Amino acid sequence: MEIDKDIMNGICLSSKDTYPPKGGFAASAAFQSLVERSITAWNSLNYIGEDQTDIVRKHIGMLRSLSSMETLLGNHQFWFFQLKESFIRQKLLMKWDPVRLGEFIFLPIHYGFVNNQDCFFVSHYWHTREHPDPEGHDMCLFLEDLAQVEWSYIWVDWTCMPQAPRSEVQRTYFKKMLQSIPMLVVDYVLNHAEYTVTDDIKPFISHVVEMAKDGVRPVVSKYGYVCTNGGDLPLVIGWLEVLIILAKVVPNAGTRQEIFNWINRDYVGSYANPVLGIEIDKARGVISCNGTTYEFTPVFLPTVD
């Protein structure tokens, strides 16, 4: 993908940014370096969506308008992805650290940017609460698997989401990303004819396929899936159910992603698209599409600190 240089360079930071920047010059310089490195990386992505120029322009403007890590986390519109060179030189998985900005790029949470040619999403078992892989055994397996394929960026929960102890803004960002993770996993498995399958991930892929056939909740119960924070499980189940239903009723992955982008917003309780004949009620847990009704675990719930 080649993006017009006018788009890349013509969107400036807001004149309302404070001076000197909050947090000091060094912190601001590191953050702005990450912003520009990310935008440059978008230029070589195998972008898979439509309206590429407009979508890229929109997200360049959005990212450059954010003046600090705190505003980025509060925006809820960007993933952290670890650079390949950072990932392959480590012996243990790196814990997310807002100081180590040189290890990352930002990718928009929007259909088209994260793709199965440039990006890897790693879902793995946590051996301890203090560190998911304290002995580095899984890390060795990851490196062996990934050595066989071409890729540039990787997402690992321990590395790419704020970990405890979290500030308030970090906690909110973590919860938002937690809701978006099923979108990555289920959409990837259900909508890509080809993807890398390793021995350690085969059971989880089969579980996703089983969810599409038998339902999410029975499969979660059958295999004993849990969340570290028990209260997150109904939300995870609900969003998985939404994605399974959308995969059935909205064949186009791009359209499906646009719908998900809308309903994934905290303040959106319902959604309707007369052209597609679809209505979604997050509070009641109902999707209606062209006369057929589907139910899911409600995901529009009051926030409890």
pLDDT > 90? residue 38: yes
* Arithmetic mean of pLDDT, 182-198: 58
Cα 275 to chain center, whole Å? 28
* Arithmetic mean of pLDDT, 202-227: 92
* Arithmetic mean of pLDDT, 284-291: 96
pLDDT digits (tens, 9 = 90+) for 113-134: 888 889 988 877 888 989 999 9
Q: Are the C-beta atoms of residues 249 and 289 closer than 8 Å to each other?
A: yes
Q: Are the C-beta atoms of residues 99 and 48 closer than 8 Å to each other?
A: no
Could you count the other beta carbons within 10 Å of the beta carbon of residue 202? 10
Q: Tell me, what's the pLDDT at 260?
A: 84
pLDDT > 60? residue 189: no
First to last CA, the chain: 42
Count of residues making up the chain: 305
Least confident of 170-174, 177-181, 234-238: 177-181
Query: How are beta strands 119-122 and 153-156 bridged, if at all?
Result: parallel
Burial readout 189-198 (b: 16 or more C-beta within 10 A, e: otherwise): bbeeeeeeee
pLDDT > 50? residue 25: no
User: Average pLDDT of the chain?
Assistant: 84
Stated pTM of the model: 0.68
Closest CA to 227 of 215, 239, 213, 214: 239
Q: Tell me, what's the pLDDT at 117?
A: 85
pLDDT > 60? residue 2: no
